[in-house]
Structure 1
Amino acid sequence: MEDLLLLIHRIPYPPNKGDKIRSYHLLKHLAQHYRVHLATFVDDPDDWQHVPTVQAMCTSSHFGKLAPLAGRVRSLGGLVAGRSLSFDYYRNSAMQHWVDQTMQANAIGRVMVFSSPMAQYAEKYPQARRVVDFCDVDSDKWRQYAEKKPWPMSWLYRHEANALLAYERHVAKTCNASLFVSAPEADLFRKLAPESDARIGYFNNGVDTDFFSPERDYPSPYQAGERALVFTGAMDYWPNIDAVQWFATEVFPRLLAAQPKLRFFIVGARPAPAVLALGQQTGVVVTGTVPDVRPYIHHGEIAVAPLRIARGIQNKVLEAMAMGRPVVVSPQALEGIEAKPGTDLVLADGAEQFITTLSSMLAQPQDNARLGAAARATVQTHYSWPSKLARIEERLECS
């Protein structure tokens, strides 16, 4: 086996946590083919318990403590200097020192970067073959934020969109390959960084269909008689916050008026104050962190993904499909997913379509089983992790 340096912005564990699924499976796959030297950050105190598990998968590892407040203070320096805030948020001298020592001690010739701000730690090693998994075009996400927010946040987000895009283009131009989570995401970056067109590709997320299986026995988290619409995701993430606020305000009240037993369950860790406030609304339940999202999905009547801001493939949609549940998505949430609207899931655009679609599905629940079965079959066919990750090795081993 050859040595490989793997740079990941947040500890890639636990494997069923939405924002860590892709990085966990990347680490697991690479550890089967290389001696992996991992450098990553821990920004949640609860995640330190996972360090021994991740260490066991690696030849060597370094876990940097990333305090969000300190990171934001560092970002201010980047703002003054005209750099990306994300770049300075993840800048850490101890991390760079460990990377330098590890690269030299092991004569490492391959570097895998997960998330563009981590590419700064590999910039000193152009002789190594460097592959970057950008996942999403993060700079475009900040551009979308700027369009949704009033001044001065709109100005700040626009600065980050422009500065981060400049850095993304630099990374793509100087590294051997740049990968994204879907073909549409890769196509978008080709338009933004045409000079790197030949080195841009993608690999889709996969789904662990054994873990997300409708065949397991899950205790119901709902009260008798409740009919649950369920949304899952990290609830401190702005696109998720925006989605549930919009749905709870513009869609759910009209559904509840016709279906008094209906409940909108918002399931996910770290709910922001704006999300917690929704829990005061009749019929809306904010769970916060739960030990397992699968019972909520399995016993939920319909999974909803009404995102208005989105980048890349939505794991929440794939997981609900894998669980054999009917899913209603916005166009933004459907982007990059190989599924046929009307056959594998249902597409709704805007409040009126969501209301009409969900009202019809709630009135005819017997039809939802067919939709759920087709959804799971599609995920089993198209979203195997090993088949998706094979593209990584192709890029790492190209001469």
Structure 2
Amino acid sequence: MKNILILTPQIPYPPRQGASMRNYYIIKGLAQNNRVSLLTFKEDNQSTDPEKIAPLLTLCGQRVYTVDVPQRATADRLRAMLTSSYPDMGHRLYDEAFNQLLTQLITDELFDIIQIEGIELARTMPLIRQFSPESMIVFDNHNAETELQRRALQTDWRKPQRWAGAIYSAVQVVKLSRFEAWACETADAVTVVSAADADHLRMLVPNLKATAIPNCIDIDMYAGVQPTEDKRFDLVFTGKMDYR
């Protein structure tokens, strides 16, 4: 049994979208044979009511610690874009309160593994190395972010009315390529959603050994559900319809 601390960008319950579904079921799987604790950001619309997140608290043995998502003004984002070597995603969840709580947790207790869920939290790695050098860092990269930004650039560049977005993407591609490569090289292990994502990351880090862990759903939740009408569905979508 390993002692594992997981860092997530939002409370992964209820699991209703890609990141929270992935995070929740990873926690559920790991908790079967390990001791799991969770440090997570809390979005404005999320609840910490124990009754509403009871399954998550049970999996983590009540060890769920939350910090409010930091607010970033447009002016701050623009300033960072012009002056910082980090990509926008590297600033999105960089927060002193989160870092302080993380430092407290990893100095009070030795974790065998600290798992970072998403590139937005990758900047915690130096802190972990400093205060918990014995911990193994696992970086779960939810997307091949550089490739996604490159595709956004290609799409926006074809439409003059979206050239402002294309310029933003062009800047981010350069910064993201360095940042994503650094995160993969700094972690002790890297996991990805698919083999295709691993191939994209190897364009940045040629010798990268990444383990693909596909996203999943809990089919037991649907075991007793019977169709009300005799209809054939070609697509079942579970998640939100607000992806940018």
Q: Do both share a fold (TM > 0.5)?
A: yes
Q: Tell me the TM-score normalized by structure 1.
A: 0.52
User: Which residue of structure 2 lines up, in the alignment, with residue 217 of structure 1?
Assistant: 226
Quote the residue 2:159 is aligned against.
Answer: none
User: Cα–Cα, structure 1 residues 74 and 236, in superposed 2: closer, same or farther, change >3 Å?
Assistant: farther
Uncovered stretches (5+) of structure 1, i.e. residues with no partner:
221-225, 239-399
- The 1:187–1:61 alpha-carbon spacing in structure 2 relative to 1, beyond 3 Å, is same
1:105 deviates by 0.5
* In structure 2, C-alpha distance between the alignment counterparts of 1:138 and 1:212, rounded to whole Å: 32
Rate the CA distance shift 1:168–1:157 in 2: closer, same or farther, 3 A: same
Give the Å deviation of 1:177. 1.1
Matched, 1:96 2:107: no
Give the C-alpha shift of residue 207 in structure 1. 3.2
**Aligned partners of 2:108 and 2:57: how far apart in 1?**
19
**Match for 2:42: what amino acid?**
V
More helix by share: 1
What amino acid maps onto 1:191 in structure 2? M
- Give the counterpart letter for 1:108 in structure 2: F
* Runs of 4 or more consecutive aligned structure 1 residues displaced over 3 Å after TM superposition: 16-19, 46-53, 71-77, 226-233
In the alignment, the residues of structure 2 paired with residue 207 and residue 53 of structure 1 have an alpha-carbon distance, to the nearest angstrom, of 15
Per-residue CA deviations over 1:76-98 (Å, capped at 9, x if unaligned) read 34313132111111011111001
Q: Which residue identity does 2:195 align to in structure 1?
A: A
CA drift of 1:154 comes to 0.8
Residue type at the aligned position of 1:158: A
After the TM superposition, which residues 109-188 of structure 1 pair with which residues of structure 2 at under 5 Å, given as runs?
A: 109-126=112-129, 127=133, 128-149=135-156, 150-188=162-200
Alpha-carbon distance, 1:74 to partner: 4.7
For residues 96-143 of structure 1, the C-alpha deviation after alignment (integer angstroms, 9 at most, x for no partner) is 001101101002231111101212223223322111110220221111
1:84 alignment partner AA: P
Distance 1:47 1:218 in 2: 32
Post-superposition CA distance 1:2-51 (Å, at most 9, x none) = 32221111211113444421111111122223322211112241444544
Cα distance, 1:227 vs. partner?
10
1:20 counterpart residue number: 20
The percentage of counterpart residues that share the same residue type is 22
- Tell me, in whole angstroms, the C-alpha distance in 2 between the residues paired with 1:32 and 1:20: 19
Alignment of 1:1-399 (within 5 A): 1-49=1-49, 50-59=52-61, 60-66=63-69, 70=72, 74-80=76-82, 81-126=84-129, 127=133, 128-149=135-156, 150-194=162-206, 196-197=207-208, 199-212=209-222, 216-218=225-227, 232=237, 233-238=239-244
Report the count of equivalent residues. Answer: 229
2: CA distance, partners of 1:62 / 1:106: 14
Structure 1 residue 208: Cα displacement = 2.2
Separation in structure 1 between the aligned mates of residue 74 and residue 227 of structure 2, nearest angstrom: 40
Separation in structure 2 between the aligned mates of residue 159 and residue 97 of structure 1, nearest angstrom: 30
3-state SS of paired residue (1:45): coil
Give 5+ residue unaligned stretches, structure 2: 157-161
Q: Higher relative contact order at CA 8 Å, sep ≥6: structure 1 or structure 2?
A: 2
Instruction: After TM superposition, give the deviation of residue 169 of structure 1 in Å.
Output: 0.6
CA RMSD of aligned residues (A): 2.7
After superposition, the Cα gap between the structure-2 partners of 1:190 and 1:33, relative to the gap in structure 1 and judged at 3 Å, is same
Summarize the Cα distance change of 1:73–1:44 in structure 2 as closer, same or farther, 3 Å threshold. Answer: farther
Q: Distance in 1 between matches of 2:227 and 2:17?
A: 18
CA shift, 1:156, in A, is 0.8
